A and B are shown apart, each in its own frame.
Chain A
Amino acid sequence: MELEHSFTVPVPLERAWEVLLDVERVAPCMPGATLDSVEGDDIAGRIKVKVGPITMTYTGTAKFTEKDVAARAMTLEASGKETRGAGTASATVRSELTAADDQTHVRVRTTLNVTGKPAQFGRGVMTEVGGKLIGIFADNLAAMLVAEPAASQAATPDARLESNEVRPDIGAADEALPIDVLNLGSRAWSSLRRDGIQTLGDLTRRTSAQLLAIENIGPASVAEIKSKLADRGLSLAGTSGSHRPSGSTAKAAAESGPASLRPVHEANGDRPGKHAADDVAPVTPLRPPSTAPADSATGQHGQVASTADREPAAWQPQDDAVDLLGVAGLPVLKRALPAAAGLIAAIVVVFGLRRRRARRS
């Protein structure tokens, strides 16, 4: 399947080129995508696609196979495998940049190939969904590039917060606001509520380490909370719990990228039929937190806990690698049980016989 998208961003060619090659910054633009690692041109990550009741998760790798500075063209090849099935998906994404005054026109051509159950069952779903995902990606990317200048400025105070030099005063008015105003994902929200954190004041008095200690709150949730607080000019207390692999300014800038993107996702959330593509993105935090009460029963399911947190903005290495035992399940162990028992029995018998023989001689 061939798809073509194009968009124009109000930044010079040089800048757009730079950003597009920065995978860590571009990845959050893909709805449902999470980066696992970036080493040079090799990128590993996963993407979760949700269409109505259907959920598909792919893990895979991507690589820049072309970076033609002269022609201002780049090609990214990605391929992935379903985590819970035998299906595969691969894509070749070629972007061409052309300058138009102070703006940059980006043309994205994608060849998408999907196999396995989703493709067979789908009656064309995958084509449709693939096209929409790339459409959203292009929109988000454009939005991010537009927001870029603001983001790089925002990076400075953010970086200082990381190093605990400045701590903004939380106004009395903000302090009393319920955490609902942050519009957190339901899992983060209900976990905080369970821990007695009701207002922004309660929240900003905690450090990230303290938050991490709360059941069901992982690095992804903390990142979400931080970035949503940052949107309001707030931050968590202290920095002892900084869980980031690196607190550098560059990293902080990359973080601000997704944060500034969030309004795009949220705008997508309140539908009535703008871009038809909007609705493929339920993986993004569209849900108002009020729909999940604090005693949410799903808290018991480890896997679920992570999915709610895994939103595009949370691209940092995930704490929940695919648990093989969780996927293959106990049945694997059970199946091995008779064989293991047989082996042990045989060993016992052999052992017994040898001892008897030893005694006799």
Chain B
Amino acid sequence: MIPAKFDYVRPSSVGDAVQAMASGGEDAKVIAGGQSLLPLLKLRLAYPDLLVDVGAIAELRGVVDEGDHLLIGARTTHHQLMHDPLVAQHCGLLAQAAGTVADPAVRHRGTIGGSIAHADPAGDLPAVVLALDATVIAQGPGGERQIAARDFFVDYLTTALGPGEILTGIRVPKLDAGWGYRYEKFHRTAQAWAIVGVAALVRRSDGQVAEARVGLTNMGSVPIRATAVEAAAAGASASSQALHAAAANADEGTTPPADLHGAPDYRRHLARVLTGRALEAAAGV
């Protein structure tokens, strides 16, 4: 279908983009890779008056080493995340999860910033940045703002980004070599949304789990941390049995949606099983 009519601007700097957003008011929308927004436009579910294409803003693309963390530009594509040496070295979880997103065509266009700003609860990267304790950087009329990932996702397709604010990048703390990671994604057809996804990070020391972080995809209207699992796993022995026991709490505090792909109870079950698998893989047992 052909989208409803809209105005289009393609600024070349973040400042211009913020200005364009301000002039567009409430019905202006940022477009980057367009892999989520274009389908909405074509289905005529979204009717923005103005699209601000950030595709010409070079500074938003790429990964920069900033000492104890990485600054990932909002326009960095999934494909780039998969193949970036800095990402692979310091937050491999992001690279692995990016590799599970849709298909190569989408991964070449779709961006991390877009994925996070769109805040689809079935999107893979939101749960990953949540597990990584990343910080989202937004630029708005009032200047730059840093938002912790745990405060960023507010509701279904709704984030803490204010009107006129543009997500410019994500700051991800570097993880040292002691950390293992795994993103488990379950879907029944190739290249589908996750019915449930689990992002797990485990730090081992002396045969024990020193620290675990678990982010859940599509187990509610926003990505959430499985805090019960994290508490149960911390200090547990790094054995398959102990990790699966910890994973039994994975659905605690979740309100999974019901849709064609599964009932809430099914999702709860998936969350427990996938969390067990993800923890195992992350702990290397």
Cβ–Cβ contact A304 & B157, under 8 A: no
* Residue A128 is within 8 A (CB to CB) of chain B in the complex: yes
Chain A window 277-300, contacts with chain B (Cβ cutoff 8 Å), 1 for yes, 0 for no: 001101000010011110111100
User: Range of interface residues on chain A?
Assistant: 35 or more
Please tell me which stretch of B81-89, B256-264, B271-279 contacts chain A, meaning at least 4 of its Cβ atoms lie within 8 angstroms of it: B256-264
Residues of A within 8 A of B29 (CB): 53
Residues of B within 8 A of A84 (CB): 4, 44, 47
Partner of B154, one of A124, A129, A273, A293: A273
Chain B contributes a number of interface residues (CB within 8 A of A) equal to 40
Cβ–Cβ contact B261 & A297, under 8 A: no
- Chain A: which residue is nearest B259 at the CB level? A124
Interface centre among B22, B24, B45, B160 (most CB of A within 10 A): B45
* Residue A308 is within 8 A (CB to CB) of chain B in the complex: yes
Partner of B45, one of A121, A186, A280, A295: A121
Chain A window 213-229, contacts with chain B (Cβ cutoff 8 Å), 1 for yes, 0 for no: 00000000000000000
Cβ–Cβ contact B257 & A128, under 8 A: yes
* Residue B119 is within 8 A (CB to CB) of chain A in the complex: yes
Cβ–Cβ contact B24 & A298, under 8 A: yes
Cβ–Cβ contact A291 & B45, under 8 A: no
- Chain A: which residue is nearest B157 at the CB level? A52
Given A84-B44, A117-B43, A123-B193, does the pair A52, B158 have CB atoms closer than 8 Å? yes
* Residue B207 is within 8 A (CB to CB) of chain A in the complex: no
Chain B window 141-152, contacts with chain A (Cβ cutoff 8 Å), 1 for yes, 0 for no: 100000000010
Cβ–Cβ contact B156 & A128, under 8 A: yes
Cβ–Cβ contact B257 & A291, under 8 A: no
CA distance A307 to B261 in the complex (A): 35
Cβ–Cβ contact A291 & B162, under 8 A: yes
Cβ–Cβ contact B164 & A291, under 8 A: yes
* Residue B219 is within 8 A (CB to CB) of chain A in the complex: no
- In the assembled complex, the CB of B192 is this many whole angstroms from the nearest CB of chain A, namely 11
* Residue A125 is within 8 A (CB to CB) of chain B in the complex: yes
* Residue B46 is within 8 A (CB to CB) of chain A in the complex: yes
* Residue A55 is within 8 A (CB to CB) of chain B in the complex: yes
Contact residues, A75-134 vs B (CB, 8 A): 84-85, 117-118, 121-125, 127-129
Partner of B156, one of A51, A273, A296, A308: A51
Residues of A within 8 A of B151 (CB): 272
Given A123-B257, A279-B154, A296-B25, does the pair A55, B47 have CB atoms closer than 8 Å? yes
- Chain A: which residue is nearest B5 at the CB level? A329
CA distance A307 to B156 in the complex (A): 22
- Chain A: which residue is nearest B122 at the CB level? A123
Given A128-B257, A186-B25, A291-B164, does the pair A51, B50 have CB atoms closer than 8 Å? no
- Chain A: which residue is nearest B164 at the CB level? A291
CA distance A52 to B45 in the complex (A): 11
CA distance A128 to B44 in the complex (A): 20
* Residue B68 is within 8 A (CB to CB) of chain A in the complex: no
Cβ–Cβ contact A186 & B26, under 8 A: yes
* Residue A20 is within 8 A (CB to CB) of chain B in the complex: no
Partner of A125, one of B119, B141, B156, B160: B156
Our count of residue pairs bridging A and B at CB distance below 8 angstroms stands at: 102
Residues of B within 8 A of A297 (CB): 7, 23-25, 50
- In the assembled complex, the CB of B148 is this many whole angstroms from the nearest CB of chain A, namely 12
Residues of B within 8 A of A276 (CB): 155, 221
Cβ–Cβ contact B119 & A52, under 8 A: yes
* Residue A54 is within 8 A (CB to CB) of chain B in the complex: yes
* Residue A243 is within 8 A (CB to CB) of chain B in the complex: no
- In the assembled complex, the CB of A118 is this many whole angstroms from the nearest CB of chain B, namely 7
- Chain B: which residue is nearest A301 at the CB level? B49
- Chain A: which residue is nearest B37 at the CB level? A53
Cβ–Cβ contact A53 & B257, under 8 A: no
- In the assembled complex, the CB of A224 is this many whole angstroms from the nearest CB of chain B, namely 15
- In the assembled complex, the CB of A357 is this many whole angstroms from the nearest CB of chain B, namely 49
* Residue A209 is within 8 A (CB to CB) of chain B in the complex: no
CA distance A288 to B260 in the complex (A): 39
Contact residues, B157-200 vs A (CB, 8 A): 157-158, 160, 162-164, 193
- In the assembled complex, the CB of A287 is this many whole angstroms from the nearest CB of chain B, namely 5
Cβ–Cβ contact B158 & A298, under 8 A: no
Cβ–Cβ contact A85 & B163, under 8 A: no
Cβ–Cβ contact A55 & B163, under 8 A: no
* Residue B109 is within 8 A (CB to CB) of chain A in the complex: no
* Residue B211 is within 8 A (CB to CB) of chain A in the complex: no
Partner of A117, one of B7, B45, B259: B45
Residues of A within 8 A of B122 (CB): 123
- Chain A: which residue is nearest B21 at the CB level? A291
CA distance A23 to B122 in the complex (A): 38
* Residue B40 is within 8 A (CB to CB) of chain A in the complex: yes
Cβ–Cβ contact A304 & B49, under 8 A: yes
CA distance A301 to B156 in the complex (A): 28
Given A121-B45, A123-B257, A293-B22, does the pair A51, B163 have CB atoms closer than 8 Å? no
Q: Which residues in B have some Cβ–Cβ distance to A below 8 Å?
A: 4, 7, 22-27, 29, 37, 40, 43-50, 118-119, 122, 141, 151, 154-158, 160, 162-164, 193, 221, 257-261
Given contacts A290-B141, A298-B25, could you give 6 more A-B pairs where the C-beta distance is less than 8 Å?
A51-B158, A123-B260, A187-B25, A272-B151, A293-B23, A295-B23
